[in-house]
Amino acid sequence: MFNTLLYQPFLNTLMYLYQHLGGNLGLAIIVFTIIIKLILAWPSASFIRSQRKIQALQPKLQALKRKHQNDREGLSRATMALYKESKVNPFTSCLPTLIQLPILFALYKVFLSGLQTEAETGLLKSDQLELLYGPLKDAFASTPINTVFFPGLDLAQTGIFVGSVIIAALAGVAQYWQSRMIAAPPAPKVAGAQDERLAAMTSRQMTYLFPIITVVIIVSLPIGLGLYWLTSILFTVAQQYLVLGQLRRQEDANANHPQPTP
């Protein structure tokens, strides 16, 4: 079922794009990534809006923590009541991750196994060729795969090369940019609020840690998957810019034209 619903369609889509984009695998990966991100645009936008709303509630959440610091059950009830009153669903943030996990696994398999070629001929290996649909199978039975994006950047390579380091570094910078965009503003200092200070410190550390993890992981993957990751992050940055801009305009409009009190 995994192969039929995800892996095989992804492999065929990538090879179709490769075939119709002048045999440029790098360009095919970029276009393919954009298609995937457009499909996931709605749950991703919901996640961004949910995160922004939760951030806006942080002062109230911190006040509840101080009020119920010795009553975990009371804190849980008060927190859920605040979420309900503010029309915020904290579990929405899990949806994009749950959706993307099988997709990421399928993509990893496509880039790691699906693009394997015979060393002598450059043709797709027979087990992968069998997964292509009719016309694509006929075409690539005799058409070698060129995995070079541009000179010096072989998308099928795995390991530390100049190309992989450049893509990993760019992805790390983009990941940091994305994290900073969605990060909550610093909370005001409150005497005795040790938990809040610890949470803020952890959040700042993760802003720097995630980019480092991104670089380390991408360097260990096929460069083609790193190019997918970089394109995906850049798309997410652009989407966050649009969604957060829309939310800021709505907040400004609500501030300038408050709803009348019944």
Q: Is the pLDDT of residue 183 over 80?
A: no
pLDDT of 105 reads 83
pLDDT of 64 reads 79
Q: Mean pLDDT lowest for which of 7-16, 19-28, 52-61, 123-132?
A: 52-61
Integer CA distances (angstroms), 118 to 129, 194, 200, 261, in order: 11, 60, 52, 72
Q: Is the pLDDT of residue 31 over 90?
A: yes
What is the mean pLDDT of the segment spanning 187-207?
A: 54
129-145 pLDDT, tens digit each: 888 998 999 998 888 88
Half-sphere CA count of 107, side-chain side, radius 13 A? 22
pLDDT of 17 reads 94
* Domain residue extents for the chain: 2-256
pLDDT of 190 reads 47
If DSSP codes are grouped into helix, strand and coil, which group holds residue 117? Answer: strand
Residue 260 sits at φ, ψ, to 5 deg, of: -65, 140
Q: Is the pLDDT of residue 170 over 70?
A: yes
What is the mean pLDDT of the segment spanning 8-20?
A: 91
pLDDT of 70 reads 77
What percentage of the chain carries pLDDT values higher than 70? 84
pLDDT of 18 reads 92
pLDDT of 191 reads 46
Q: Which amino acid is at 182?
A: I
Closest CA to 115 of 103, 102, 125, 104: 125
Closest CA to 155 of 125, 114, 216, 121: 114
